[in-house]
Amino acid sequence: MANVNNLADKLSELKIKSDAPLTAGTSRVPSKIQSVSASSSRVPPSSVPKGLGTKTSSSTLKDASKSAGTSGATSTTRPEATKTDSASSAPRAPQVNVADIGAYDGGFENELQSGRGSEVHGEAAEDLALDSSTSRTALYPTREWRLSSFEMGRPLGKGKFGRVYMVRTKTEPRYIVALKCLYKSEIVESGVEKQVRREIEIQQNLRHPNILRMYGYFHDSKRIFIMLEFAAKGELYKQLVKKGRFSERRSSRYVAQMADALQYLHSKHVIHRDIKPENLLIGISGELKIGDFGWSVHAPSNRRTTLCGTLDYLPPEMVEHKPHTAAVDLWALGVLCYEFLSGCPPFEELSGARATHRRIARVEYTIPDHVSPEAADLIEKLLQYTPTARLSLDKVLRHPWIVKYEERSKGSSGV
């Protein structure tokens, strides 16, 4: 795999591959590679990817697992990660002595017996031979993992390419994580093998409390398995749909957490490109977590041309087929803030995609009367047609609407 070796030599700050030609522009449809939701326990340094490990009481984990949905989102019972890249910040999974992971339904075996999936060959086989114990692009190599390393638990959800289960390591101290399975042949049939590889290579090296942790990954002849944090409180989008819209306090705290996470990603030259409620998860303490990196790209030059993401969140430069920069995430943050407060995206047009594109290009939207002037000010400063005119993430974090609720939230956990 010469291309992988060359990649390892080229990447310095964050060892990940750059963009590949992709198609895009779906409306409110989750990215092709769906995230998993799981409240995780951690894996010991000797028996798991280096750095898995924070303690969580069994009762807390049980309560969290009951509240998590089955849709495959991922948040966790893990310790707050720090924004460093030192070896001490390598992945850690929550540690518990006793916890109910539920009953396994035999899904993996049943799918193989039914004939699902097949072996892949050639360049695709090399691209999808992913193992965190031998990866040249992983900042934190892990121990060797196999499916037999885990005690299988209840299903957490299904995705386009496979299933997600709550699992526990068989070795002491028996950490709990979410295990996502992807079928190689289905990835190849969809033509997204390079996208899947890039997503894994990006997420494996990220360390931030508002970014879902990837603890490791391995593969067999037909499948790829990814070990993820367990998102204890499930998918944010489901909560938004259930409530209709969020309060200003809750919205402000989520926007602040998103801004902090995006600031970290941009410092690593990573552009997310698909910020939306469906790609966000909620952790055990109510903290927001970015859980899907399917359209993300490592872009040191900060200029890309691929049209990608979700229709309602596309910025004017993408709609008009112009090169884009990390400023696309600033636009998406403005759209996200609007949707938190109103329950729907600002440029949504039921008459079709062309009408939505037209509204986006004209920056044509109306802020509901119930939204406060401070929140409206932040939205307006993010939803600017000119990318360079959008409010910087640093200024977002210092905006009066953010500071106002940050001060009120001091001393309280989560949102």
List the domain boundaries for the chain: 33-228, 236-409
Residue with tokens 């400023």: 327
260, 274, 312, 329: which is the annotated catalytic residue? 274
Q: Helix or strand or coil: residue 258?
A: helix
Class assignment of domain 33-228? alpha beta
What integer pLDDT is reported at residue 310 of this predicted model?
81
What is the rounded CA–CA span in Å between residue 385 and residue 166? 43
What is the largest distance, in Å, between two alpha-carbon atoms of the chain?
Answer: 59
What integer pLDDT is reported at residue 73 of this predicted model?
38
Contacts 24+ apart (CB under 8 A), 240-247: 240/277, 240/339, 240/340, 240/343, 244/343, 245/340, 245/341, 245/342, 245/343, 246/340, 246/341
Beta carbons of 73 and 35 less than 8 angstroms apart: yes
Quick one: what percent of the chain has pLDDT higher than 70? Answer: 72
Locate 131 and state its tokens: 């193992």
Whole-number CA gyration radius for the chain? 20
Binding residues: 160, 180, 229-231, 278-279, 292
Give the C-alpha distances (Å, rounded to integers) separating 277 from 251, 305, 313, 354: 12, 24, 10, 22
- Of the listed ranges 82-96, 122-136, 289-303, 328-342, the least confidently predicted one is 82-96
Residue-wise pLDDT tens digits, 366-383: 999 999 999 999 999 999
What integer pLDDT is reported at residue 302 of this predicted model?
53
Binding residues for ATP: 160, 180, 229-231, 278-279, 292
- What are the residues facing 66 on neighbouring strands? none
More confident residue, 294 or 15: 294
- 213 phi/psi in degrees, rounded to 5: -85, 135
- 144 phi/psi in degrees, rounded to 5: -80, 130
Residue-wise pLDDT tens digits, 137-189: 777 778 899 999 999 999 998 888 999 999 999 988 788 899 999 999 999 99
Same fold, 33-228 and 236-409: no
- Of the listed ranges 19-23, 111-115, 332-336, the least confidently predicted one is 19-23
The listed CATH number (3.30.465.10, 3.50.50.60, 1.20.1740.10, 1.10.510.10) that belongs to domain 236-409: 1.10.510.10
Helix (H) or strand (E) holding 410: none
- The per-residue pLDDT of the chain, averaged, comes to 79
Q: Is 181 exposed, middle or buried (0-12, 13-18, 19+ CB in 10 A)?
A: buried
Active site residue 329: no
What is the rounded CA–CA span in Å between residue 398 and residue 396? 5
For the cut 60, the answer to whether the pLDDT of residue 284 exceeds it is: yes
Closest C-alpha to 74, from 12, 156, 134? 156
Beta carbons of 119 and 221 less than 8 angstroms apart: yes
The structure's pTM equals 0.75
What is the rounded CA–CA span in Å between residue 363 and residue 365? 6
Query: Would you give the distance in Å from CA 333 to the centre of its chain?
Result: 15
Cis peptide upstream of residue 173 (ω within 30 degrees of 0): yes
Distance from first CA to last CA of the chain, Å, rounded?
46
What is the rounded CA–CA span in Å between residue 227 and residue 164? 10
